[in-house]
Amino acid sequence: MTSETSVFDPPEGVLRATASRGAVATIASQGALMLTQIGSVVILSRLLSPEDFGLVAMCTPVIALLMMLQDFGLLAATVQKQGLKTEEVNFLFWINVALSVSLTLILLATSPLVAMFYQEPRVGPLIAALSVTIALNGLGAQHAALLIRRMQYVRLGFIQVAGAVLSLATAAIWAWIDPSPWALFGGALVGTLVPTLGMWLGSRWRPGLPRRIEGWRPLLNFGAGVTGFNFANFFSMNVDKVVIGRAFGGESLGYYDRAFKLVLMPSNSIFNPLARVMVPALSRLQDEPDRYRSAYLRVAGLLLFLLLPMMACAAAFADIVIPLAFGQNWDGSVAIFTALGIAGLVQPLNNVAGWLFLSQGRSRDFFHSGLIHALFVGTAVLAGLPFGLVGVVVAVAIAEYLKVPAIWALTCRSGPIRYRDMIRSVGPLVLSVHLVMGLLWLAKPHLPGPGLAALLQGGLLSYALTALMISTTSAGRETLREGWRLVAEKMPLRRRMVAGT
C-alpha cells in the first residue's frame, strides 16, 4: 500500500538516507543549542539574581499556555498528514495567525490579573511585554512545520542556533547594562523574532489570502487531540511552578525553576528536536510494522543510552553541578536538582512515547496520556505542599516513577510496539543506570581532583559502568553495536580507508 505523495514531502525513495542525515544534522544543531543553553545558564545566573528568574518564571506558565493554544495541534497535523495540499497549509497558517493575535490581545488585557494572583506588581508589565512573542511565534509556526515535514533539518538547525545565540547575546548585554528581569524579556523577544524571519526565508512558502477549504474538520479534529495533550501536559509541567511561586515566593521559585530547567536541558536538547526527525519518518512507515518497530526501538535505545548515564552522573554530583552551573549563591537548588535528577532517569521514557502517538495519528490517546501526566503531578504537588518546597519536589519525583507504567500501558495497547518490546529493549538500560547512580555516590569521595575534574571522571565512569552492565543482555549488546556502527560510519579515517585513499 502506498500513500499519496505531496509537494511538501521529501523526495521519494530516500526516506532512510534523509532521516539518517536529518538525525545527524539534528544532533549537531542540538549540540550547539545545548552549548548555548549551558552558556546561558552560566552567564545569566551570574548577572541576575534568583528573584529576577523567579519573576520571569511566574510569567512562563501563562505564556506557555497561550503558545500551546495558538498551535492548536495544527503543526503536528501539517507534519503527519499524508498528501498535504497547498490550500490546507494556507488554511492552517491563517488559523494559527488568528489564534496568535487573539491570544496576544487577551493577555495584554488580563496581565494585571496575573500580577494580582501572584501579589507581585512587577509581573504585570513583564507579562504584557512577553505577550508580543505569542504573535511573532504564530507567524512562523507553519513555515517551521513545513521544514520539518520536508526533513530540511540542516536549514532548520541553522535557524534555531542563530536564534539561540542572538537571544543569549541580547540577554547577556542587557543584563550587564541593566541587571533586571527585563534582560530575559529582551532575550525572549530576539529569540522569537529571529527564528520567525528565518523560517519564512528558509521554507520558501508564502501564504495566500485566507479562505475556507473542504475537508478541514479532520485537520482540526487531529489538532484538537494534540491540543488536549498539550493542555494536560502544560498543567503537569507548570502546576508545580505556579504553586511554588504562590506559596513560597519568587526566590524559592527561582531556585526551583533553574534546577528544573537544568535537569530537562539534556532531554529537551536531544529528544524533543529528534521528534522532528522521528515523527515524519515513522509516519511514512505505518504500513510496514516490522520496519517501524525496528527503527523505533533502535533509535530509542541509542538515545536513552546517550542521555541516562549523563543524568545518573548529574544526580550523583549535584553538589558539584549546581555551583559550576549557577555560581556559589545558588546552594538552594542542590537538593531540588538531586531529586529531579533522579526522576530524570525515567522521565525520557515518556518523551519517546509521544513519537508513537503522533506518528500513528492517535491524537485521542495522546490526549489521554497527557491526562495521566496531569493527574499524577497535580496529586503529587498537593501531597507535598504541607512539607514545604522540598516536599513538593520529592513528591513530583516520585510521581514521575509511578506514571511510567500507566503511560506505556496506554501507548502499547495498539500499534507495532508492544509492552514486551520496550521491556526487552530498554528495561536493562533503565535498571543499570539506577545501579550506576548508586555506585557513583559511593565512588564520589574517592575521586581525585577539584570539582570539575571529579565530575568529568564521574561522567566517564557512568558511561563505562552502564555499557558494562547492559552488555550482559542481547538488547544491550545490540544497542552498543548500533552505537559503534553509527560512530564508525562518521569517522573520516574509516571512509578514507574504505575508499582506498
pLDDT tens digits, one per residue of 468-481? 999 998 888 888 88
Q: Are 318 and 440 in contact (CB under 8 A)?
A: no
- Considering the domain architecture, whether residues 332 and 445 belong to the same structural domain is answered as yes
Mean pLDDT computed over 261-277: 74
Q: Distance of CA 325 to CAs 29, 40, 65, 131, 226, Å?
A: 21, 10, 28, 29, 35
As for how many domains the chain has, the answer is: 2
Number of Cα atoms under 13 Å in the Cβ half of residue 243: 23
- Considering the domain architecture, whether residues 10 and 78 belong to the same structural domain is answered as yes
Look at residue 383 and tell me if it is in a domain: yes
Look at residue 169 and tell me if it is in a domain: yes
The three cell numbers of residue 240 are: 508545580
Mean pLDDT computed over 258-279: 75
Look at residue 28 and tell me if it is in a domain: yes
The three cell numbers of residue 408 are: 506505556
CA distance 453 to 130: 40
Look at residue 103 and tell me if it is in a domain: yes
Q: Are 253 and 55 in contact (CB under 8 A)?
A: no
- Considering the domain architecture, whether residues 360 and 459 belong to the same structural domain is answered as yes
- Considering the domain architecture, whether residues 217 and 294 belong to the same structural domain is answered as no
Look at residue 404 and tell me if it is in a domain: yes
Between residues 227 and 322, the one the model is more confident about: 322
CA distance 131 to 119: 20
- Considering the domain architecture, whether residues 395 and 323 belong to the same structural domain is answered as yes
354: three-class secondary structure by DSSP: helix
- Considering the domain architecture, whether residues 325 and 198 belong to the same structural domain is answered as no
Tell me the backbone φ, ψ of residue 327, rounded to 5 degrees. Answer: 110, 180
For the ranges 306-320, 346-360, 437-451, the maximum mean pLDDT occurs at 306-320
Q: Are 238 and 380 in contact (CB under 8 A)?
A: no
The three cell numbers of residue 320 are: 558539584
Please, what's the b/e burial string for 126-159 (b: 16 or more CB within 10 A of its CB; e: otherwise)?
A: bbbbbbbbbbbbbbbbbbbbbbbbbbbbbbbbeb
Mean pLDDT computed over 387-406: 90
Which of 204, 225, 246 marks a domain boundary? 225
CA distance 134 to 297: 36
Q: Are 385 and 391 in contact (CB under 8 A)?
A: yes
Look at residue 250 and tell me if it is in a domain: no
Sign, Cα dihedral of 340, 343, 345, 351: negative
- Considering the domain architecture, whether residues 350 and 437 belong to the same structural domain is answered as yes
Mean pLDDT computed over 355-380: 83
- Considering the domain architecture, whether residues 304 and 201 belong to the same structural domain is answered as no
Residue 396's domain comprises 285-491
Q: What is the pLDDT of residues 174-227, one digit of tens each?
A: 999 998 889 999 999 999 999 999 888 887 778 877 676 665 566 555 655 566
Q: Which residues are CB-neighbours of 230 under 8 A, at least 6 positions away?
A: 68, 71, 73, 370
Look at residue 243 and tell me if it is in a domain: no
For the cut 90, the answer to whether the pLDDT of residue 166 exceeds it is: yes
Note the Cα 360 to chain centre separation in Å: 20
What distance separates the 2 farthest-apart alpha carbons in the chain? 71
Long-range contacts of 282-287 (CB under 8 A, 24+ apart): 282/355, 282/356, 282/359, 282/360, 283/79, 283/80, 283/82, 283/358, 283/359, 283/361, 284/3, 284/15, 285/15, 285/359, 286/359, 286/360, 286/361, 287/1, 287/3
- Considering the domain architecture, whether residues 309 and 190 belong to the same structural domain is answered as no
Give the pLDDT confidence score for residue 2 in this predicted structure.
39
CA distance 34 to 360: 30
- Considering the domain architecture, whether residues 152 and 297 belong to the same structural domain is answered as no
Give, rounded to a whole angstrom, the gap between the first and last alpha carbons of the chain: 43
Q: What is the pLDDT of residues 429-444, one digit of tens each?
A: 999 999 999 999 998 8
For the cut 70, the answer to whether the pLDDT of residue 6 exceeds it is: no
0.75 surpassed by pTM: no
Best CA proximity match to 397, nearest among 347, 433, 343: 343
* 3-state DSSP percent of the chain in helix, strand and coil, to 5: 85, 0, 15
- Considering the domain architecture, whether residues 292 and 361 belong to the same structural domain is answered as yes
CA distance 127 to 428: 45
- Considering the domain architecture, whether residues 297 and 214 belong to the same structural domain is answered as no
Which of 225, 247, 272 marks a domain boundary? 225
Which of 205, 225, 245 marks a domain boundary? 225
CA distance 91 to 103: 19
Look at residue 135 and tell me if it is in a domain: yes
Local confidence band at 388 (pLDDT 50, 70, 90 cut-offs)? confident
